[in-house]
Amino acid sequence: MPRTIYTNGLYRPHMAVALVGGVLLIIGLVAFVANLVVTLGVRNVVELFLPRRGAPQPAGE
């Protein structure tokens, strides 16, 4: 079965819906990260992923 480039607009409505969904996902991610930064502060958000070197270890380790 040969590959085809659809030039007649067959999938254009589907791609428009996918574009809207993708934009909404990006907006949601940006809002989530902004909420984390406002709530916790930039330093604490960074420390969630990169703990401080001199931080004490949790008990039991």
- Name the residue range of residue 37's domain: 23-48
Domain membership flag for residue 55? no
- What would the two tokens of residue 37 be? 């930064």
User: What pLDDT was estimated at residue 61?
Assistant: 58
- Domains identified in the chain, total number: 1
Give phi and psi for 41, each to the nearest 5.
Answer: 95, 155
Domain membership flag for residue 8? no
Domain membership flag for residue 28? yes
What pTM was estimated for this model as a whole?
A: 0.66
User: What pLDDT was estimated at residue 47?
Assistant: 87
pLDDT digits (tens, 9 = 90+) for 2-61: 777 777 888 889 999 999 999 999 999 999 999 999 999 999 888 888 877 776 777 775
Q: b/e for 16-36, b at 16 or more Cβ within 10 A?
A: eeeeeeeeeeeeeeeeeeeee
Domain membership flag for residue 59? no
**3-class SS shares of the chain: helix, strand, coil, % to 5:** 60, 0, 40
Domain membership flag for residue 37? yes
User: What pLDDT was estimated at residue 36?
Assistant: 92
